[in-house]
Structure 1
Amino acid sequence: MDGMSTWPATGALLPATRVPGGELAAVAEAADFAVLPVGAVEWHGPHLPLGTDLILAEGFAGESAATAGPRGVLFPAVPYAACPGQTRPWPGTVAIRPEIAVGYLADVIEGIVAAGFPRLLIVNGHDANMSTVRAAMEWVSGRRQASLLLVNWFQLVTPAETTEIYGSLPARGHGGAYETSGVLGFDPEAVRLDAVTDLPPKPKLPVTHPYVLVESRPDPWQGWSGHISLASEDAGRRVRELAGGRLREIVEAWVAAPLPAPPSDDPLPGDTAPIRGAS
């Protein structure tokens, strides 16, 4: 490969949109994986941009490639997503129906795999994408030989670590100090810390068991909640460092593992029992 299709020496990802069609096969052959950021266009409060989830997805997608590490090809981000009822009424949120999101993502994922990239890393910046992306991945894996890896940046830093960074006050809410710091880690000019005052989130249920609670309009709620005063560029750099390092660890372990066998409609191995009703 030469020209635009040479991987940057710094370990950065090679943009798929800059690969000439005649070089695609060689690029796919040389690549260790492809990367697809998925985000949303969604209200996160007066202090954060509508593209918060895209900034985070694209930013952490860029962190997946380390110098002298596995070589990745970056595909354009998926910008629109299914959004929860909590944010749909707020200005700037552009939501698509979940069934549309699943079908669209399935076509995008299959298209990347069909282009010669059996390993696809999907970096998520919007929590509601986890279910739609997972459903699309499952569908594609039954049609193509593929290893599809979904990583949500938000989960790469533990609650214990965010407590260490921000103190005992809740920081992990929608548009809260943790997410705000994440944006500050990549694009500090996009954040307006002076646009809001702290809006403490609704307390969690007094149980330790895992659960998923979906509510239309929690109280208090202004399309975001959290102690924004805890956010800072220093915290953002720490979040980027922690999450980026863990993402690279995941990618390196994943690329080192063997690819799966192609999907098959054949009977299971050793299944020689006759089909009932057959003559």
Structure 2
Amino acid sequence: MKRLQYDVRKISDNIHKEETEKVEIENMRPGELLSRLEQFPVAYFPLGTIEWHGRQNPLGCDTIKARELCKSVAQKIGGVVMPSVYYAADKDFESQEGTGYGMDGISGMVLPGSFYQIDLELLKKYLINGCANCFNRGFEMVVLISGHNPPIQEEVMKEVSEYFKNKNKKVIYSMECNCVMDESNRMCDHAGGYETSMMLHYNEELVNMKANEGYEQELLGIGTSYPLETSSKEIGQKQAILQIAGMSMWVIDEYKRRANNG
């Protein structure tokens, strides 16, 4: 028996398109999804973690950043935001106290809240399957945006992109902070002045700036060149605006290149 294929004509005869401002796929009805697909058939995958981000920040900091950016860009230029991926790539680090995964090793202790470790081949297969599902259901390009920013995470996204390139499918990827095109205005860190500012912008109720007070090691599990005390909602807003503008231009350009076999 032959395998069924995505058939736009058959679908159009059976499902009425509905206009919608929604961008998150889990909130859409089928007709709303078809309308978004017709207008701009691009899927965004926000990649992040459930991970220690200082005492002051929510554990989902990486994912919140990536998801909010994808939502804003989809609202601005079109496309559909897929469910967030909370597993991510990292590596072991050595400290005087021993070896640990990610910020555990850097901090010298197993920190509460970090639940993102996954076999790297499994993560790659997971992303490949997710992207393939999108292509099989009418999307023409997939965008991977990671709020978790170690080089090994970027390498996994690159491998996924190369896999689909060999199949003449377009998957593009970026760290969320790299969507700021002007490097002189680009910020990035782990749980410091940058990420805390982003959380203050997106949802300040999730941040407790007093949570580090009174501890000998105030910056436990924090890696930054931006002092934590400089964090502000205004800095987060400025970075978000720059990221949205940069990512929107990049996605549109890459989509046009795809359409022109670039």
Task: Give me the TM-score of the superposition, normalised by structure 2.
Answer: 0.75
Q: In structure 1, how many angstroms separate the alpha carbons of the residues matched to 2:35 and 2:64? A: 30
Residue 180 in structure 1 maps to residue 189 in structure 2: no
Q: In structure 2, how many angstroms separate the alpha carbons of the residues matched to 1:45 and 1:183? A: 12
Q: In structure 2, how many angstroms separate the alpha carbons of the residues matched to 1:150 and 1:179? A: 20
Task: Give the aligned partner of residue 160 of structure 2.
Answer: 136
Q: 1:149 aligns with which of 143, 156, 172?
A: 172
Task: Give the aligned partner of residue 80 of structure 1.
Answer: 87
Counterpart residue identity of residue 118, structure 2: I
Counterpart residue identity of residue 184, structure 1: L
Q: In structure 1, how many angstroms separate the alpha carbons of the residues matched to 2:17 and 2:200? A: 31
Residue 44 in structure 1 maps to residue 53 in structure 2: yes
Calculate the aligned-residue CA RMSD, in Å. 3.1
Task: Give me the TM-score of the superposition, normalised by structure 1.
Answer: 0.71
Flag structure 2 segments of 5+ consecutive residues without an equivalent. Answer: 1-11, 92-100, 105-109
- How is 1:3-22 mapped onto 2 (pairs within 5 angstroms)? 5-8=18-21, 14-21=23-30
Flag structure 1 segments of 5+ consecutive residues without an equivalent. Answer: 163-170, 200-218, 262-279
Quick check: 1:34–1:121 contact (8 Å CA) kept in 2? yes
Q: In structure 2, how many angstroms separate the alpha carbons of the residues matched to 1:236 and 1:224? A: 17
Cα distance change, pair 116–151 in 1 and its aligned pair in 2 (3 A): same
More helix by share: 2
Residue 92 in structure 1 maps to residue 113 in structure 2: yes
Quick check: 2:44–2:79 contact (8 Å CA) kept in 1? yes
Deviation at 1:156, TM superposition (A): 2.9
Q: In structure 2, how many angstroms separate the alpha carbons of the residues matched to 1:75 and 1:184? A: 24
Deviation at 1:119, TM superposition (A): 0.8
Counterpart residue identity of residue 82, structure 1: A
SS in 1 for 2:239: helix
Deviation at 1:23, TM superposition (A): 6.9
Residue 255 in structure 1 maps to residue 262 in structure 2: no
Cα distance change, pair 154–258 in 1 and its aligned pair in 2 (3 A): closer
Q: In structure 1, how many angstroms separate the alpha carbons of the residues matched to 2:211 and 2:17? A: 42
Query: Percent of aligned positions with the same letter in both sequences?
Result: 23
Q: In structure 2, how many angstroms separate the alpha carbons of the residues matched to 1:64 and 1:52? A: 19
